[in-house]
Structure 1
């Protein structure tokens, strides 16, 4: 097993640093866009309609994430994909300007929907590039958590000091520029140029996909219960959710990011399940001004963990699928649809049933999350007494997060002294492609030569006897 401490974040490549900054800035633009749409809706439509606007915005965002995967499938050429990204960026900026300056409710609704839809499309692009750029990296959680946490801190400073409309447009234009620039660079799709599908007998990817989807949907429902209530409070001016208490969101994101990189992602599901059980009491604390701060703080800490969960684990899973452009942002899309399903009715339910009923519902959903994640948590906590050579090789490939084809190339490198030309002939691919796989294997294992690769594997065998 290769220890994660041997992969510090300061050893990131230039491309990874660029992508990390782009991801954080895109997350900032998302948060500012949602805040700007909700604030404008409260003025034009009234506070009582903000939750409905918020829900429709979430649906648009989720559809935007899915639209990226759809357009990428329909548009095969890289040049066409670049044009699509540029058009999405132009639409995002233009619609943002219009919904901020218009006083017509119909035009505002249309422009806000287009802005969030194009935001989602750009987000799908950024999440896909994030998944491909950090494929196999052991510091994805820390980079993602720190980047998102800094984005929340920047949002706090922006909305406390600088007029929201001005900085919203600046950050939006900046993020769009970075995304378009990223799309104009050489794609990293060579990793999937000759993908090796998982065996039909191996059901782990399908089971993992179902666990991820159900867990994120249930977590989002828990988040939506309190999110709908505090959104209504904020739009009515009862409480403010974007200032001091917002810093707990940054804390949750950073803590969850560090937890994600421990024990090869095994700690993150357990930590998220524990935090969600703790946060289920948040709704019970909203009835008084004194308890409101504590309740929202707990909700924000939990939100940080579950956002990192749906971001990092889906980005890890995406490169191992045949549709990474879909799976990279699918967690975010599921989150949007699930939260949108409960947000509109929460103010009415809170007034009708009170905090006790919502707390019970939150607790039941939290238990359901724990049950869904239990197979993953229990499997992660098991340690076999001994491993066969095949199991040891599979564990080594998993610890280094090799793709299926990289694992096959690794097997050839370890079991024989064949040249790369001969390996290419045996696998039916080009020598250049084998060279790329070998480079990726060296990068992920930390080896610098074929001899070093044997040494790494031997060390792994000794540690897992």
Structure 2
């Protein structure tokens, strides 16, 4: 319809959102480089057969880092103090990264590896929280997230495959962490949270709804852990290399999943992710030969792209509607860390003892379980809707334009009265400046430029939903 914004295809990023996309991509790159460095050095210090244990412990440290951000945000009050904590985490991350890449002592390496991933997780918790706040109710969070992560994977590929020099690797890792900390310290406060209205009427229902993707992430992480354990063991033993050309399929999966996430208000993401997890389940049966290994890992990487977007975008989208957004924003990633850590150490042993058949069967059964768990998300909203009352139409209009509760309240005043902004501010007991900001956001989200255009846009919506 003319004048009606297309929810699925609009690609409009504000300055703050572009800023945050770069920060998110750099954080993802820093984490991948840190994880690769720990696994590579662990093979040298502990032997290839123990790399999966080091990988699992590293995931636990990362998960604890995400949780530490939530805890310290509660303990440290004030934006300045919180930014100081993140800066300290960045300093700790850089110092431990330099030491773990240069030390010759096993004990010091293990300590530095744990501190590096712990502080990296803390920084990640902060970046995920900012991502959720800045992209609150955005139509293009998926595309921005997927594109940024895909570019980070391409950078990692260049650093580790095209220019495989230790000095370049170290400089890239330190530079990524420095840039992330700098961007986080300069991030603007989200003015939409200065005077929020709670989602009190929806909190319990939405929290129960959010448990469905959380359970799905745990089950998907079990599938991912089964495959990760085998390919990590192969890579550390030098049998195959997971950081060369096949790694590019990960970037493809992330970019594609990001675009799918923004279609039909994220209703397609669970379905497509479920389809890819079923395909990836057969990848374990292909790992026994070089040709099959490439195909199996390629399938696994494409699935991993959808899996990572699924554990990121829905949780960042849901987080601002909770009383603990700093926890929910990174909860998908946290669940992934602890679940994969529980599975990874045993998978190489299972593969050696029983071959790929057992892992393939286990992956298929878990994939079916994921499909069943995500069924409510897949069929959500597919039922034919009845004609709406004026009140329901207004509520649906607000939801379709992704307005926050306070924006919806301001919109109602704009539509139902001719009051000026000063009167609206008095009625809502907020400042005129805040009303102006809300009106600007409403115009941006509805694709209008004036109060008259807003009335026309809403009238069109009413006629379409009689």
TM-score in terms of structure 1 length: 0.95
**1:62 match:** 63
Cα distance in 1, alignment partners of residues 229 and 126 from structure 2? 28
C-alpha displacement of 1:186: 5.7
**1:32 match:** 33
2:281, 2:363 within 8 Å by CA — same for their partners in 1? Answer: yes
C-alpha displacement of 1:456: 2.1
**1:75 match:** 76
2:23, 2:184 within 8 Å by CA — same for their partners in 1? Answer: no
C-alpha displacement of 1:145: 1.1
> What secondary structure, in the 3-state scheme, does the structure 2 residue paired with 1:281 have?
helix
C-alpha displacement of 1:73: 1.6
Cα distance in 1, alignment partners of residues 72 and 113 from structure 2? 21
Cα distance in 2, alignment partners of residues 179 and 316 from structure 1? 21
- What is the root-mean-square deviation of aligned Cα atoms in Å? 1.8
C-alpha displacement of 1:355: 1.4
Cα distance in 2, alignment partners of residues 450 and 168 from structure 1? 54
Deviations 1:54-108 (A, max 9, x none): 0011111111111112211211112111211111110000000101111111110
C-alpha displacement of 1:202: 6.1
> What secondary structure, in the 3-state scheme, does the structure 1 residue paired with 2:93 have?
helix
Structure-to-structure mapping, 1:422-461, within 5 angstroms: 422-461=423-462
Where in structure 2 are there 5+ consecutive unaligned residues?
Answer: none
**1:13 match:** 14
The number of residues matched between the two structures is 463
Cα distance in 1, alignment partners of residues 455 and 220 from structure 2? 42
Shifted more, 380-389 versus 88-97: the winner is: 380-389
**2:300 match:** 299
C-alpha displacement of 1:200: 4.2
**1:4 match:** 7
**1:276 match:** 277
1:132, 1:319 within 8 Å by CA — same for their partners in 2? Answer: yes
C-alpha displacement of 1:201: 6.4
C-alpha displacement of 1:164: 5.1
Cα distance in 1, alignment partners of residues 8 and 211 from structure 2? 31
Cα distance in 2, alignment partners of residues 288 and 2 from structure 1? 50
Structure-to-structure mapping, 1:273-352, within 5 angstroms: 273-352=274-353
Deviations 1:156-197 (A, max 9, x none): 111112235323332333333333333333633322223222
1:282, 1:296 within 8 Å by CA — same for their partners in 2? Answer: yes
Distance 1:206 1:49, change over 3 A: same
Where in structure 1 are there 5+ consecutive unaligned residues?
Answer: none
Cα distance in 2, alignment partners of residues 350 and 6 from structure 1? 44
Cα distance in 1, alignment partners of residues 351 and 9 from structure 2? 49
**2:142 match:** 141
**1:406 match:** 407
Residue 251 (structure 2) pairs with residue 243 (structure 1): no
C-alpha displacement of 1:335: 0.9
**2:366 match:** 365
TM-score in terms of structure 2 length: 0.95
**1:260 match:** 261
Cα distance in 1, alignment partners of residues 269 and 236 from structure 2? 33
